[in-house]
Structure formats: structure tokens, C-alpha cells
Amino acid sequence: MGQATHLSRAALMFLSRREGLKEVATGVPALRRIARRFIAGETLEEAVSAVKELNARGLTVSFDHLNEAVRNADETLDEVREYQRLLARIDQLGVRGNVSLKLTQCGLLLDPELALRNAREVVADAKRRGSFVRVDMEQGEVTQATLDVVRALHREFGEPHVGAVLQSYLHRTEADARALCAERIRIRLCKGAYLEGPGIAFQDKKDVDENYLRVMRILLDSGLYHGIATHDERMIQETLAYARKKGLPPGAFEFQMLYGIRRDLQERLVAEGHPVRVYVPYGKHWYPYFMRRLAERPANVWFVMKNLVKG
């Protein structure tokens, strides 16, 4: 990773954590309008409307309610209720989708046991409805705690109803992938969107990509249904080539991409017969997620600057 790129990414990640800027940014109409490129709306019904359009184009989805800054146990219960409303709406409308859940929203930084209880409520509801909860991975300091919760949920609810996320920029991910696959836990593999130090994460894009491909092969060898989450066309082509080599049918795994990014690639893969799931975030607390999307790709920053100038 080039030094200038690393510094700009570090600056954007720093800004994503500034509470004062969150309040300012979410109150700027022009910025809120631009954020709609990456966020499906601030309300559940706005997200549902966006998802209906994605379903009509042959894409499945995973809803994510944005709110990483819960401050107390009462606020975590609000998140549980929001996910229960979301699962009910998916069921009622027959939307082709499931949900993604961050454990910090369930109280992981307050009390891991509280987070487990709250996540259990969401997964229990999903199981009753025949749905699935993807437990998102967050910053490195909570990686182990997150996997501990996923394992506990998986022991109770099983493979069809809960899965994990692994990030290829972490040194530990190859070992985690082997262990989770042995336990029959479904995985979404992504590169990672948080800023981590050299003690736990690869710093060079080449190393992140090589680890991504190593882990992708572990997933495709496992016989489980995993999500290969990337917008990188090289990673996609390498995945398809390995699947062909192993004789895997198109439905043996799915590609996953983010709402508003590489729509052309999403639709092209669907047209070629590959399942594609779009990660659809919504909610009023969109600022940290939005800043991470800017930090991932310089092109996203230019998109924002161009549109701010236009007003």
C-alpha cells in the first residue's frame, strides 16, 4: 500500500470515529444526498423499497441496520427490536434476503454476555422464520469475542441460520477459516475495512490479496455454502477459475457486493448465472459506514467531492 494512500485512508478512518463530525455530517443535506449512493435510506421502508428493485434485477440481499454507537443496554434492546421488525417485514413481503448484524450493536463493547443474549434473540427469530443472520466482523480488538459468539449461536441454532465474516487482511484469518469450516460454519470472506496495525494485519495490498485467494480456496474446498465478497475483478476471476477446476456448479457459493458499488459487475455476474447478494445498509447512523467506504477506494472520495461541488 502506497504511503500517501495509507495516510489518506488513516485520515478518513480517524474522521469516521469523531463524534462531533458525525452530527455535523448527518445534518448536511448535500452530504446526505451523496451518501444515498451507498446507503439504501434512513428508514426500514426506504431500504425495503431499494431491495425490491434489487430483487427485480435478480439480486438477493443482506440488510444491515446501521448503528455502531450504542451507549447502554437499553439502546441494544432497541437494535434487537429493529432486527425483529426487519425479519418480520422480509417474511411478510417475501423479499429474497437475510440480515447482517454487528455485535457492537448488541452490546459487545459493554458486556459480551449481553451481546450474546441480544444476538440470540435475533437468530432465534430468524430461525422461526426460516431465515439467516450473518454476524459481521468489526475491528480487530473484537475478532475473537465475535467468533466466540458466532460459535455459541451456531451450536444452538445450526448451519442454516447463522454465519460468520472473515477479513483477509488479518494474519489469523487462514487459521480461522480452517477451524470454522471444520465446525461447518458458513463464512463471508472480505478483505477488511478497518485500519489495523502490522501486528495483526497485512499492510501491503499484495499480501491481503494473496491471503484472500488462499482462504477462498479453503472455503470452496469445504463443501459449505459461503459468500465470496469482493468487487475486485481479479479475485472474482480467480474464484471462478478455481470453482471450474474443482467442478463446482454456479450455485455452490455466492458472490457478495456492497450496495451502490459496481452495479455493472453485479448484474453481469447474475446474467452469467452466478448468485449475487448485495449488502444493503440503512439507518440514521450512516456516517461511520459511509466514511469507511470512502477510505476503501480513492474513486469514492472523488465521487463525493465532484457531487459536493455540483451542490
| Residue positions annotated with a catalytic role | 136, 188
Look at residues 250, 233, 269, 225 and name the one whose alpha carbon lies nearest to residue 59: 269
Look at residues 120, 174, 130, 124 and name the one whose alpha carbon lies nearest to residue 150: 120
φ, ψ dihedrals at 41, nearest 5°: 145, 175
Residue 152's identity, in one-letter code, is A
What does the angle CA 195 – CA 169 – CA 266 come to, to the nearest 5 degrees? 95
134: β partners = 100, 163
Q: How many CB atoms lie within 10 A of CB 58?
A: 14
φ, ψ dihedrals at 157, nearest 5°: -110, -20
Look at residues 139, 138, 254 and name the one whose alpha carbon lies nearest to residue 188: 254
Tell me, rounded to whole angstroms, the distance of Cα 129 from its chain centroid. Answer: 22
Q: How many CB atoms lie within 10 A of CB 241?
A: 10
C-alpha cell at 14: 480517524
The residue with cell 459536493 is 308
